Structure formats: structure tokens, C-alpha cells
């Protein structure tokens, strides 16, 4: 049994309370026979009632609400003395109006069943055990003990617990950014946003709280989202291999059961309730260069100039805390940056978008406008005895806005006015766990407005960072009018993806961290956070050229690609390590830009349909035994498989390819999937495979987004003898016109036979791209083409290149291409 004084072990705790209970004496107390509440379990339910899509069960004292959210999602809530908390969630902005086809309540001899046409929620009459099954009566999740709770004598409210059966071969995924193996089976983990400088493998908790996991058992998946912002714990068979438990130090026992059976269904449905990332400006999918810090201005200009001289594409340039005056947010150090507007404009003319850092700590200084305004309006957090919450961060003594107050969020959003006027394109939200030097974070007794639902820091801690970046995003969105803002945050809670991208925090320049980063990005991706990246190269410590290059190669396939380094390290730009590294780094960053339309389309699939961008192998092939332990390979979108090189000096490595045919991206050789293969890994490549039948759109290499008018989009079409679909999404790339349906969704269907191949294109939407033609590049055609017909017209002008690829030009709105 694991014992940790910070961890609430349900059994030990109840024992402790019982002991204390024994000492509880009061002479002549008429209420002496009333025992204080110790751990309490639901008793047998005595009845069921219905109100719309909500069903209520009670054991005479406690009440349980079962809500049918959609055909596949059911929410369970527990009220220990029948009083539910207000219906409010930062993670789930809107629960109503989701599609439900059919639902009802059925009473049977041994149980009540709340059903939809897809799932059943069973409430057992004997003991209030809750379980879920599908419409084939396959039980996917069952309580191992009834839901239970303990009174929290110190703060009021309850510790709340749920314990489910953990099956022998059950695997667990999710929970955000945990720095550990991808499969969480056998682990106990905590959610409490923590500034974790140079974190280590297995260190827990880190920066984010995503209390959502996916279970996979016998090839069938379901998800549990425990929407509770207090400190939460998850135990996946660690203490007892037959039990999975989750519990919180306060708030409500409220969880969503999210049906599969595919992991992908679970992830999509989790997105349905917590939202997806809005479309980013296209430039934000380019390469970003960051450092703590680039200053003064001459340094920024030197770095950006070198990018252009070296012909290494780059879109984002970052200003870390030293751009400010004494680290006061929303000010400038005029000695270092005498004319920020001029600098930002000139950087923008060279294609660089300036991103600035903002921290939540506001320096206590009556001569500082932001502090004065916050103080006058009572926007800063207070302790329970009404002192201000004060703590030290970069600027020295600070107070902290209460971002859980909508009025404060609005004020904060407005503070970006000047930065937006100066031309700042993005805002980096840091230290928002919140981090405080010395004590780590705020004390528990700090009070928060919590959007009118009041709470101590115990309740608000895990959402503080999310509400900060929400305020930033909403403010920028307002100020930038129809332009898409770019934001990045360190801390977050479920749903943070509606407001921001994230990076994994202060990692280390080590091979172990390269591995960890690879797992963290995949984990974040199945936990609702697709737009994420690591500090490429490692934040602290010194990478050598090889490690940096291997990290650039992996980072090319992180949805967010940024190199960053701590102030006490050597220079860390893509050219810092000399040759051959510079050339390889350039080649990969160029590849990032070539694949931008592909990544942008994958982003659209995420935004619109809830597909994650990075997809672990088990997400694609959950039936295959062994895949639940794979954590190196992943696909980028659904067509390109990536296997980063994670060891120094590695000349070749094993790569698992899911079933089907795959093309080696570099050699165009075809490999049969469903097995592991050995792939050479010279320093200038990593294993990249493209699924047969894919249409991979490609832009010409640009030094930054918008450098050139796109005159032609290349379509790399990989022959397949089975039918395959691909998508291409196009729009303006920087406005919200897509919300008014001004975009184009193109679908390609590729079908191949031994002597014929057809490619069909269909499109939907109101956007017209400015280019006229595609450059078609057909790879792997198994025959020599003699006749090519595009929409009934013969194409005479095609060539078969030395590598056997077939090249031709085609009007962008063709509907059918037949090659025979």
C-alpha cells in the first residue's frame, strides 16, 4: 500500500477519523449519540424519479443525479445530503442542447436502468453500485464499491470518492501532461497545477489538471471525465490492482461516462463537451524562436536577420520577461526597447510576428498604473481575513488578479490594447499555476469570485491559469477585431483548449526529456489539448548538436513548434551548432512549411470535428494487443506516421506500422504494416511513412507564412489498391470568416488497380483560393501511364520522372482524374 502524507488514502483516512471519533466525548451532551460523519457510502436506493433528461435516485439521505447528456454521454452527480451544488463548470460551458435521440428509465428486479439507444447506466438496488453497458449488454465500467464521501471538518464540504473495478488487462490513457509512460496502468497521479522547473520523469503533479482518462479493456474503450477543479487523485490499479479510484478534496463527485467503443470516439466526445481549439492564425503553425530573453532590440534584430540570411523559415519571435520595465506587465523597458512600435513593424515587414510574455503577478507599486487600477477596483485576490494575497515573483512583491471574476477578466483583456496597437501578434501566458516563489503557489484560504460561485483557492487553483488565458484570449479577440489571436499558456484545466495552445513547461536538455516530450505531446493530444509543443532543445541545460537536431526533427511534427532556452544557457538557434546540424535543421523546418496545408487541414478536422492532431498508435489500432504499450510512434493527422529518434548515435530503429501499406517518405519504398520494421536513422532523417492512398498537400517552401503568393499547391498522391479518402481545408488563414462558413473543405478519393488509378475531388464551402493549379505528383504507380483523362479531357502534358513519379498540372477544380 502506498503511503504519502499528501495523498488521501481513503482507507487510512477513515481509520484515522474513526480513531478521532473514539476520543470525542462531551459530558451531558444531549447530542452525544450523534456520531460525526466519517467515511460514508451510499446505501441501497429507495426510489427513482425523472425530470426531463435527469434521473434522481436516493438512499433516503444522499441523492444521485444521472443526466443523459447525449446518446453516448451520461453524467453522474452525488449530493451527500441531497443538496446539489450549483450547476456550473469552467470545463463544460454548455451542457444543454446536445443531440439525444431516445432515453428513458426502466425498472427491473435488481436494478434501475437509465438508457439511451447506445448506453445503459445501471443503478443496482441492492447497494447503489453504478455500472455502464452498451446496447449489446457488454459491461464497460462498474463500481467496485458505492460512491462515498467524508466530511471535511476544516473547510466544510466533502472529500468525494469513486472506486471502479480495474480489469486484469485494462489500460489507461489521458490526464494531460503527466511525465511518465503513456499507459497509466499501475500509477497513482495527482492534479494540482504546479510550477515544476526542470521536472523529472515520474514527477507529479506538473502544470496542468486534466481529470479525464480513457480506459481500454478487451479492445473496447470508454472515458471518465471527473469535472472537479479541486485537488484530484487518480489511482489506476496502483494501490489495489483490482480497483481504479478517483477522488477530490472538495467539490462535487461529478463525472461523465463517455462511451466508445473506439478511443477516437471517446476523444471526440470529450471534445464535444469541453470544446476544441479555435483555428489558429496560419502563421502560428510555422516555426517559433524563443529565448529567455532576447534583449535589447539589437539582439532581436540580429537573431531575426540571421534567420533570413540563413534561409531558415521562422514566423514567431518571442520577448521574454526582460522586455518589461522591472518585470511590470504591460510596460516596456525603454532602455532595451526604445521604440517597440517601430521594431515590431519592421520585424513584421520581414515576416516575424512578435509574441510577448505576460505573467499574473502584478508588482505592488502605487506608481504603476496596472497595479493602481487593480487595487482601486478590488481586482486582486484576497485572503480569508481580507488581506491581499501577496507573494514574490519576477517583479518582487506582487498581487494577483482574480481571473475567476468576469469583471477582472474583462479588465485584463482590455489591458492588451496598447500591445495590440504596437502590433504584438500573440501573448504567452506564463507562471499561471499560479507560481509564487517560496511557497510554490497561493495558500488554500485565498478567496475567489469563481464566476459568482465563490470558492477558496482549493477550488480555484486548478482553473486560475485557464481563466487567465481565457481573459487574454477574449481580450485579444476583441481588440484584434476579426483577426485570430495567438495565445500560449503553461497552466490549464480541461477546456483550456478553447482559449490557447500550451507548451510542456521547463523541460531539460536531455535525451530522457526528448522521450518524455514525445509522450507528453501524445498524452495531451488524447486529453483534449492538440495544440501543444515542448521547448525544443530543452529549457535548462545544454544540448549538443545531435540532441538539438533530433529535437527539431521531432518538433517539426508537434502541432506547436517552438525552440526555447533558459537565460543561463548558450545560444540556441537552429544555426548555433554549426554544420551538419544547421543544414538538417533547415531541411526539417522547411519540411514543416511544406506540410503547412496538411497540418492546417488536420487542425480543421480537430477544430470542427474533435479529432486530435497527434494520434498515438493505440488510438488507431486499439484492437491489436501490444499497441497499448507503444509510445514512440504516432501519426501526425491520420496520414503521416512519425517515429522520432530518441537515442544518441542511433543508426537504425524499430518502427511499428499499423496495418495497411505505407510509403517511406524519403525513399518512397512501400512497406507492409501490421508489424515492426527496422528503419535506418542517419542524422538527417527520422522515420516518416505515408499511408497508401493519401493525398498530401504541399506548399512551396517559404521563409514565413505570407512571404509569397501561393501560385500552385502540390498534391502528393500515393497510389493504393484500396480506396482512401483525404481532406484539404483552405481559407484566409487569419480571420474568423470560417465561422460564417467562408472556407473550402475538399475531399479526395483515391482508388487504384493494377493498371488504372482514379482520383476524385469534391468540395464544399464558400471560399475561393487564389491559385489556379495543382501540381500533381503521383507516387508509386504500379504501371506506366499511357492515357490521363481529367474531366473528360485528355492530359497530354505529363512526365514520368526518374523516380517513377508522374507529374502533371491540373486545374484546381477538377472533379475526376483517371490514369491508365
Q: Which residues have a catalytic role annotated?
A: 430, 433, 506
Q: Three-state SS string across 268-316, please?
A: HHHHHHHCCCCCCCHHHHCEEECCCCCCCHHHHHHHHHHHHHHCCCCCE
Bridge partners of 78, per DSSP, are 64, 253
Give buried/exposed letters for 231-268 (b at 16+ CB in 10 A, else e): bbbbbbbbbeeebbbbbbbbbbbbbbbbbbbbbbbbbb
292 binds ligand GLC (CB under 6 A): yes
Comparing CB distances to ligand GLC, the nearer of 266 and 431 is: 431
Interface mask (CB under 6 A) for ligand GLC, residues 252-291, using x and -?
Answer: ----------------------------------------
Least Cβ distance, residue 569 to ligand GLC (angstroms): 11
Q: 150 or 506: whose CB is closer to ligand GLC?
A: 506
Least Å distance between CB 394 and ligand GLC?
7
Rounded least distance, CB 500 to ligand GLC, Å: 15
As measured in angstroms, the least distance from the Cβ of 417 to ligand GLC is 23
Q: How far is the CB of 367 from ligand GLC (least distance, A)?
A: 23
Contact between 210 and 224 under an 8 Å Cβ cutoff? The reply is: no
Comparing CA positions, the residue from 259, 235, 260, 61 lying closest to residue 163 is: 235
Q: Which of 589, 353, 635 shows the shortest CA–CA distance to 480?
A: 353
Residue closer to ligand GLC (CB basis): 432 or 494: 432
Q: Where are the alpha helices (DSSP H) in 660-817?
A: none
User: How many C-beta atoms lie closer than 10 Å to residue 178's C-beta?
Assistant: 27
Between residues 14 and 198, which has the closer beta carbon with respect to ligand GLC? 198
Among 119, 123, 282, 321, binds ligand GLC (CB under 6 A): 321
Do 627 and 635 touch, CB atoms closer than 8 A?
A: no
Q: φ and ψ at 557, to 5 degrees?
A: -110, 20
C-alpha cell at 41: 457510502
Residue placing its CB nearer to ligand GLC in the complex, 351 or 391: 391
Q: Compare residues 292 and 380 and give the one whose CB is closer to ligand GLC.
A: 292
Nearest Cα neighbor of 42 from 146, 177, 184, 154 is 146
Q: Please give the DSSP secondary-structure letter assigned to residue 228.
A: -
Site track for ligand GLC across 338-357, x = CB under 6 A: -------------------x
Of 290 and 728, nearer to ligand GLC (C-beta) is 290
Q: Which of residues 471-490 bind ligand GLC (CB under 6 A)?
A: 490
Query: Of 320 and 590, which has the nearer Cβ to ligand GLC?
Result: 320
Window 623-662: contact mask with ligand GLC (x via CB under 6 A):
----------------------------------------
Is residue 153 exposed (0-12), middle (13-18) or buried (19+ Cβ within 10 Å)? exposed
Smallest distance from ligand GLC to CB 541, Å = 14
The distance of closest approach from Cβ of residue 586 to ligand GLC in the complex, given in angstroms and rounded to an integer, is 25
What count of Cα atoms within 13 Å lies in the side-chain half-sphere of residue 753? 6
Closest residue to ligand GLC: CB criterion: 292
- No. of helices (H) and no. of strands (E), the chain: 13, 54
- Cβ-Cβ contacts under 8 Å for 236 (sequence gap 6 or more): 166, 172, 184, 185, 186, 187, 188, 189, 213, 244
Distance CA 577, CA 572 (A): 8
Q: Considering the complex, what minimum distance in angstroms separates the CB of residue 669 from ligand GLC?
A: 41
Residues 65, 170, 320, 474: which binds ligand GLC (CB under 6 A)?
Answer: 320
End-to-end CA distance of the chain: 67
> Which residues inside 490-519 make contact with ligand GLC, applying CB under 6 A?
490, 505-506
**Residue 323 touching ligand GLC (CB under 6 A):** no
776: Cβ–Cβ under 8 A, 6 or more apart, which residues? 714, 715, 717, 806, 807, 808, 809, 810, 817
Is the CA virtual torsion 625, 631, 636, 642 positive or negative?
negative
- Residue closer to ligand GLC, measured from CB, 143 or 322: 322
Q: Which of residues 422-441 bind ligand GLC (CB under 6 A)?
A: 430
Closest approach, Cβ 530 to ligand GLC, in A, equals 21
Q: Is 322 in the site for ligand GLC (CB under 6 A)?
A: no
Integer angstrom CA distances of residue 338 from 295, 345, 571, 706, 802: 12, 14, 24, 28, 56
Helices 406-414/457-479 angle, 10° precision: 40
Residues in the chain: 820
Least separation in angstroms between residue 431's CB and ligand GLC is: 6
| Number of residues lying near ligand GLC (CB under 6 A) | 9
Nearer CB in complex with ligand GLC: 504/664: 504
DSSP 8-state symbol, 413: H
Q: Give the footprint of ligand GLC on residues 357-416 (CB under 6 A).
A: 357
The residue with cell 498581487 is 399
Chain contacts with ligand GLC (rule: CB under 6 A): 292, 320-321, 357, 430, 490, 505-506, 564
Amino acid at each position: 500500500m502506498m503511503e504519502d502524507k499528501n495523498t488521501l488514502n481513503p482507507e487510512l483516512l477513515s481509520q484515522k477519523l474513526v480513531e478521532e471519533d473514539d476520543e470525542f466525548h462531551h459530558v451531558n451532551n444531549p447530542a452525544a449519540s450523534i456520531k460525526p460523519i466519517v467515511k460514508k457510502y451510499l446505501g441501497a436506493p429507495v426510489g427513482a424519479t425523472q425530470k426531463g433528461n435527469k434521473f434522481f435516485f436516493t438512499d433516503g439521505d444522499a441523492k444521485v443525479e444521472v443526466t443523459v447528456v447525449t446518446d453516448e454521454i451520461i453524467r453522474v452527480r452525488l449530493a451527500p445530503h441531497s443538496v446539489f451544488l450549483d450547476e456550473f463548470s469552467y470545463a463544460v460551458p454548455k451542457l444543454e442542447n446536445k443531440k439525444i435521440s431516445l432515453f428513458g428509465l426502466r425498472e427491473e428486479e435488481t436494478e434501475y436502468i437509465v438508457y439511451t439507444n447506445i448506453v445503459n447506466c445501471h443503478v443496482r438496488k441492492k447497494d447503489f453500485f453504478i455500472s455502464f453497458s452498451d446496447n449489446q449488454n457488454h459491461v464497460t465500467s462498474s463500481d467496485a464499491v458505492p460512491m462515498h464521501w467524508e466530511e471535511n471538518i476544516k473547510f466544510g464540504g466533502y472529500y468525494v470518492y469513486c472506486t471502479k473495478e480495474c480489469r486484469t488487462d485494462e489500460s489507461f490513457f489521458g490526464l494531460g501532461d503527466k511525465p511518465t509512460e503513456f499507459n497509466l496502468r499501475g500509477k497513482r497521479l495527482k492534479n494540482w497545477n504546479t510550477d515544476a522547473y526542470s521536472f523529472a520523469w515520474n514527477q507529479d503533479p506538473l502544470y496542468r489538471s486534466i481529470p479525464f482518462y480513457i480506459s481500454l479493456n478487451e479492445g473496447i474503450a470508454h472515458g471518465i471525465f471527473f469535472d472537479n477543479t479541486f485537488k484530484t487523485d487518480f489511482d489506476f490499479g496502483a494501490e489495489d490492482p483490482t480497483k481504479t479510484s478517483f477522488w477530490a478534496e472538495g467539490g462535487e463527485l461529478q463525472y461523465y461516462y463517455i462511451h466508445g467503443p473506439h478511443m477516437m470516439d471517446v476523444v471526440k466526445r470529450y471534445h464535444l463537451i469541453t470544446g476544441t481549439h479555435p483555428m489558429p492564425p496560419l502563421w502560428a503553425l510555422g516555426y517559433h524562436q524563443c529565448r529567455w530573453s532576447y534583449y535589447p532590440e539589437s539582439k532581436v534584430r540580429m537573431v531575426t536577420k540571421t534567420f533570413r540570411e540563413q534561409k531558415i523559415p521562422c514566423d514567431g519571435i518571442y520577448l521574454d520577461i526582460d522586455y518589461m520595465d522591472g518585470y511590470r506587465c504591460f510596460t516596456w523597458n525603454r532602455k532595451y526597447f526604445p521604440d517597440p512600435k517601430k521594431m515590431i513593424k519592421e520585424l513584421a515587414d520581414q515576416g516575424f510576428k512578435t509574441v510577448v510574455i505576460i505573467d499574473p503577478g502584478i508588482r505592488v507599486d502605487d506608481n504603476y498604473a496596472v497595479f493602481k487600477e487593480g487595487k482601486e477596483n478590488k481586482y486582486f485576490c484576497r485572503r480569508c481575513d481580507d488581506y491581499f494575497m501577496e507573494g514574490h515573483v519576477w517583479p518582487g512583491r506582487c498581487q494577483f488578479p482574480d481571473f475567476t471574476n468576469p469583471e477582472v477578466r474583462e479588465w485584463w483583456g482590455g489591458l492588451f490594447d496598447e500591445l495590440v496597437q504596437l502590433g504584438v501578434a500573440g501573448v504567452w501566458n506564463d507562471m499561471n499555476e499560479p507560481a509564487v516563489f517560496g511557497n510554490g503557489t497561493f495558500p488554500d484560504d485565498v478567496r475567489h469570485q469563481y464566476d459568482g460561485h465563490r470558492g477558496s483557492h482549493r477550488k480555484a487553483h486548478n482553473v486560475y491559469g485557464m481563466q487567465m488565458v481565457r481573459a487574454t484570449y477574449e481580450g485579444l479577440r476583441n481588440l484584434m477585431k476579426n483577426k485570430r489571436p495567438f495565445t500560449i499558456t503553461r497552466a490549464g484545466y480541461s477546456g483550456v483548449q478553447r482559449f490557447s495552445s500550451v507548451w510542456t513547461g521547463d523541460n531539460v536538455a536531455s535525451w530522457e526529456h526528448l522521450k518524455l516530450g514525445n509522450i507528453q505531446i501524445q498524452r495531451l493530444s488524447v486529453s483534449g489539448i492538440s495544440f501543444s509543443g515542448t521547448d525544443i532543445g530543452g529549457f535548462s541545460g545544454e544540448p549538443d548538436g545531435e540532441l538539438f537536431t533530433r529535437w527539431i526533427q521531432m518538433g517539426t511534427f508537434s502541432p506547436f513548434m517552438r525552440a526555447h532556452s533558459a537565460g543561463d544557457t548558450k545560444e540556441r538557434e537552429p544555426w548555433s551548432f554549426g554544420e551538419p546540424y544547421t543544414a538538417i535543421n533547415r531541411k526539417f523546418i522547411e519540411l514543416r512549411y511544406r506540410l503547412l496545408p496538411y497540418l492546417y487541414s488536420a487542425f480543421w478536422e480537430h477544430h470542427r470535428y474533435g479529432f486530435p492532431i497527434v494520434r498515438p498508435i493505440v488510438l488507431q489500432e486499439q484492437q491489436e494487443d501490444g499497441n497499448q504499450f507503444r509510445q514512440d510512434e504516432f501519426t501526425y493527422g491520420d496520414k503521416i506516421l512519425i517515429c522520432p529518434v530518441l537515442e544518441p548515435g542511433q543508426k537504425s530503429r524499430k518502427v511499428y506500422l499499423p496495418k495497411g501499406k505505407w510509403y517511406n517518405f524519403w525513399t518512397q519504398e512501400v512497406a507492409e504494416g501490421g508489424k515492426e520494421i527496422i528503419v535506418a536513422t542517419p542524422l538527417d532523417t527520422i522515420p516518416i511513412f505515408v499511408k497508401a492512398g493519401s493525398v498530401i498537400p504541399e506548399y512551396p517552401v517559404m521563409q514565413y507564412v505570407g512571404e509569397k503568393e501561393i501560385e500552385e499547391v502540390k498534391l502528393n498522391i500515393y497510389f493504393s489498391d484500396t480506396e482512401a479518402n483525404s481532406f484539404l481545408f483552405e481559407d484566409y488563414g487569419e480571420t474568423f470568416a470560417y465561422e460564417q462558413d467562408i472556407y473550402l473543405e475538399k475531399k479526395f478519393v483515391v482508388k487504384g488497380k493494377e493498371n488504372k488509378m482514379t482520383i476524385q475531388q469534391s468540395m464544399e464551402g464558400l471560399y475561393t483560393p487564389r491559385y489556379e493549379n495543382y501540381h500533381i505528383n503521383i507516387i508509386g504507380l504500379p504501371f506506366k501511364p499511357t492515357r490521363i483523362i481529367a474531366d473528360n479531357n485528355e492530359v497530354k502534358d505529363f512526365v514520368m520522372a526518374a523516380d517513377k513519379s508522374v507529374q502533371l498540372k491540373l486545374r484546381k477544380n477538377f472533379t475526376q482524374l483517371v490514369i491508365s
